[in-house]
Amino acid sequence: MEKVLILDFGGQYNQLIARRVRECHVYCEVRPYTMSLEEIRDFDPMGIIFTGGPNSVYLPDSPQVDPGIFDLNVPVLGICYGCQLIAHTLGGQVTEAQDDSAREYGKTKTYYDTTCPLFRGLPAEGISWMSHGDYMAKVPEGFTLAAHSDACPNVAIAHVERRIYGVQYHPEVNHTQYGTQMIRNFLFEICHASGDWTMADYKEQAIRQVREKVQDGRVLLALSGGVDSSVCAALLAEAIGPQLICVFVDHGLMRLNEGDEVEQAFAKWDMKMVRVNAQDRFLGRLAGVVDPDRKRKIIGEEFIHVFQDEAKKIGAVEFLAQGTIYPDVIESGAGAAAVIKSHHNVGGLPSHVDFKEILEPLRLLFKDEVRQLGRELGLPDYLVDRQPFPGPGLAIRIMGEVTREKADTLRQADFLFRQEVARAGLDHQLSQYFAVLTDTRSVGVMGDGRTYDNVLVLRAVTTDDFMTADWARIPYEVLDRASVAIVNQVRGINRVCYDITSKPPATVEWE
């Protein structure tokens, strides 16, 4: 199978590179930069991409590669740090920019040499997204300058004969004009890919891998009813059928009526379903906890303990399955990347756990790819298009301490907001929408009397991949109907606000 290797040097947008490659129907995997030369040969890539990263390549402790990688006769594309790594490794010189004019951040007008295979068929100029404070003072021997900006003469370098290319900007982000076309050119003009990989191929490959690993063993899966765990369940059911045991943990922090809906939706599948009512257990452990990352960790730990308890009741279960996906991995600090926030289903099992191994068959997929896989597996649209819901549930949508009363209040308010969005026909246009109960109170007037109640925030975003997201422009009349319904029907809320912050700088969730 044709495949591209993406070596991860720790940049926050690295997984977007994989997304762009797969959009071109070419399979790829992201691996750590520490991958050995022998392992790279065994992977047998048709092309290699070096990602960006936060380090300066000339520092002694910066991530490096074996120089032998350039002698494999495999095309290489370096992005940002990856470009500077090419220059540094092959005899060029990279230094800290000596003045502010050599540093470039954000949208930058860039001029391309369209005779270069990387820019073939593109306009001669466009906007690229820069993010570098270092400067290539000397370009390696044999390389030509393939793009420049007003401030930087060597925005892109190329050694056409050796098929080695580097760009100091980020073609993978939406802000770079023609960025996807540049990646397409690398894949098809330089690597000569055929572009015949599909999600159906991934499904078959994933099913084979699960069968090979599990064999006669049994698998325990945390089934929340969200898109990720549902698709994971369908994939495992397809691969191993009755060897799969799905445990639905009702931690008291689900959306309104969600527990019953999950049970009904999976009644027809050939798998064992166990529903655990553990509201008291989770709420008890969360009592007095206000730090958001601590909430996530407590819920993750408690999930593991619940699974352990259920596994002991069920008998020998060798594997624990999780619906981990790519954004979970990158935001939890995969490889050299910085940790944005911890995810309850990333990080491995504690040393005392009784399971043999974790299965994460979706960890190489973005959210939209997970949905595609769900359709390939025959899941109904109402499950595949279900609203994303975090593993910690309403706990990270309740600011401050989590209590049963707060959860009930938020559950009802969230339902009314989602109901108005659906009535307006916006539910398939918005990527995610929900309510957040803040720990702030405000003065209000209801029934000619003074109130001092909770402030509720509504949040809605649009996104392709959840790595970046824009706040949704919901019509005022829809927000008005939601606000009126919430204030009138939910006791304890007297003010409703709307979050108009994109990601970045914010995250989609509030905690």
Domain boundaries, the chain: 3-190, 199-384, 403-498
CA neighbor of 300 nearest in space, from 228, 365, 348, 361: 348
**The pLDDT value given to residue 339:** 43
Query: Higher-confidence residue: 256 or 181?
Result: 181
Average pLDDT of the segment spanning 314-342: 67
Q: Do domains 3-190 and 199-384 have the same CATH topology?
A: yes
**The pLDDT value given to residue 493:** 96
Of the residues 88, 132, 170, 343, only one is catalytic, namely 170
Q: Is the CB of residue 256 less than 8 Å from the CB of residue 394?
A: no
Of the residues 24, 80, 83, 152, only one is catalytic, namely 80
Average pLDDT of the segment spanning 335-345: 44
- Helical segments of 215-278, H only: 227-240, 258-265
Query: What is the sign of the dihedral through the CA atoms of 65, 70, 72 and 76?
Result: positive
Average pLDDT of the segment spanning 89-96: 88
Q: Is 170 a catalytic residue?
A: yes
**The pLDDT value given to residue 271:** 85
Check whether domain 199-384 has CATH 3.30.1370.60, yes or no: no
For the domain 403-498, what is the CATH code? Answer: 3.30.300.10
Q: Is the CB of residue 110 less than 8 Å from the CB of residue 149?
A: yes
Predicted confidence band of residue 384 (pLDDT cuts 50, 70, 90)? confident
Question: What are the tens digits of pLDDT across the range 422-464?
Answer: 999 999 899 999 999 999 999 998 877 888 999 999 999 999 7
Give the phi and the psi of residue 138 in degrees, each rounded to 5.
-140, 130
Cα–Cα–Cα angle for 450, 453, 458, rounded to 5 degrees = 130
User: Rounded mean pLDDT of the chain?
Assistant: 88
Contacts of 287 (CB under 8 A, 6+ apart): 401, 402, 403
**Mapping DSSP to helix (H, G, I), strand (E, B) and coil, where does residue 356 land?**
coil
**The pLDDT value given to residue 435:** 98
* 419: Cα within 13 Å, side-chain hemisphere: 14
Q: Is 28 a catalytic residue?
A: no
**The pLDDT value given to residue 99:** 57
- Please report, for residues 54, 85, 459, the alpha-carbon distance to residue 59 in angstroms, rounded to integers and kept in the order given: 12, 11, 42
**Mapping DSSP to helix (H, G, I), strand (E, B) and coil, where does residue 468 land?**
coil
- Inform me whether the pLDDT recorded for 346 exceeds 70: no
Question: What are the tens digits of pLDDT across the range 213-272?
Answer: 999 999 988 887 788 988 999 999 999 989 999 988 889 999 988 888 777 777 777 888
**The pLDDT value given to residue 178:** 95
Query: What DSSP line would sit under 25-76, residue for residue?
Result: T-EEEEEETT--HHHHHHH--SEEEE---SS-TTSTTS----GGGGGS---E
Check whether domain 3-190 has CATH 3.40.50.10490, yes or no: no
- pLDDT above 70: percentage of residues in the chain: 92
Of the residues 2, 104, 172, 318, only one is catalytic, namely 172
Predicted confidence band of residue 104 (pLDDT cuts 50, 70, 90)? low
Give the C-alpha separation, 49 to 322, whole Å: 28
- pLDDT above 90: percentage of residues in the chain: 60
Give the C-alpha separation, 253 to 427, whole Å: 22
- Inform me whether the pLDDT recorded for 134 exceeds 60: yes
Predicted confidence band of residue 330 (pLDDT cuts 50, 70, 90)? low
Average pLDDT of the segment spanning 374-391: 84
- Please report, for residues 346, 455, 479, 496, the alpha-carbon distance to residue 473 in angstroms, rounded to integers and kept in the order given: 33, 21, 10, 16
**The pLDDT value given to residue 131:** 64
Cα–Cα–Cα angle for 203, 254, 346, rounded to 5 degrees = 50
Question: What are the tens digits of pLDDT across the range 36-87?
Answer: 999 999 999 999 999 998 888 899 899 999 999 999 999 999 999 999 999 9
- Inform me whether the pLDDT recorded for 340 exceeds 80: no
Predicted confidence band of residue 30 (pLDDT cuts 50, 70, 90)? confident
Average pLDDT of the segment spanning 174-183: 93
**The pLDDT value given to residue 341:** 42
Average pLDDT of the segment spanning 394-410: 96
Q: Is 80 a catalytic residue?
A: yes
